[in-house]
């Protein structure tokens, strides 16, 4: 898709993930918050189950990490996505911009880089807004397995 003003393809189409600047890479995140829901891994099969329980640092209303810069001090197993490891995280939701581009697909129409609207991800129901519950109220994760984050 050509850029309206320059006639050139936008950066997420013109560049591979490892060619992007840090700012371009960060801007891909749609703010859905789905990767910040707790997951369960079957010890035998390695199968991942998604839950609707939010990481304790997730602001459920805004779908943003409240301590992003220092999050690994509080949540050491929070994964850092980068162009080299994005293929490994098969649990990323199918709508995740990083997953889509890594699989050679394009961004969805509601993505803020196309729509210019950071709130649209919530209005179309593609985020965790209104669907996640705080960790402190959840109890056993096994009681909260859901399929929609995938």
User: Any bridge partners for residue 13, and if so which?
Assistant: none
Residue from the set 53, 65, 102, 120 that interacts with ligand SF4 by CB under 6 A: 65
Q: Which stretch binds ligand SF4 (CB under 6 A): 8-16, 40-48, 83-91, 96-104?
A: 96-104
Q: How far is the CB of 19 from ligand SF4 (least distance, A)?
A: 19
- Sequence-distant contacts of 85-93: CB under 8 A, at least 24 apart: 86/17, 89/35, 90/48, 91/35, 91/39, 91/48, 91/50, 91/150, 92/35, 93/32, 93/34, 93/35, 93/149, 93/150
For ligand SF4, the closer CB: 2 or 118: 118
58 binds ligand SF4 (CB under 6 A): yes
Residue from the set 97, 101, 102, 107 that interacts with ligand SF4 by CB under 6 A: 97
Hey, what are 104's tokens? 């050679």
Q: For residues 90 and 77, is the Cβ–Cβ distance under 8 A?
A: no
Scan residues 18-47 and list those touching ligand SF4 (CB under 6 A): 29-36
Binding stretches for ligand SF4 (CB under 6 A): 29-36, 55, 57-58, 65, 71, 75, 78, 81, 92-93, 96-98
């Amino acid at each position: 898709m050509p850029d309206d003003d320059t006639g050139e393809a936008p950066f997420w189409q013109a560049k591979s993930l490892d060619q992007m600047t840090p700012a371009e890479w960060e801007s891909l995140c749609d703010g859905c918050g789905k990767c910040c829901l707790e997951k369960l891994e079957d010890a035998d099969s390695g199968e991942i189950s998604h839950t609707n329980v939010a990481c304790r640092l997730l602001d459920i209303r805004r779908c943003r990490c409240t301590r992003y810069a220092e999050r690994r001090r509080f949540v050491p197993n929070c994964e850092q996505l980068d162009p080299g490891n994005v293929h490994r995280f098969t649990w990323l939701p199918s709508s995740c911009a990083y997953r889509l581009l890594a699989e050679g697909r394009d961004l969805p129409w509601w993505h803020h880089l196309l729509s210019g609207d950071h709130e649209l991800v919530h209005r179309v129901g593609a985020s965790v807004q209104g669907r996640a519950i705080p960790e402190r109220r959840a109890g056993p994760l096994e009681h909260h397995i859901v399929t929609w984050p995938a």
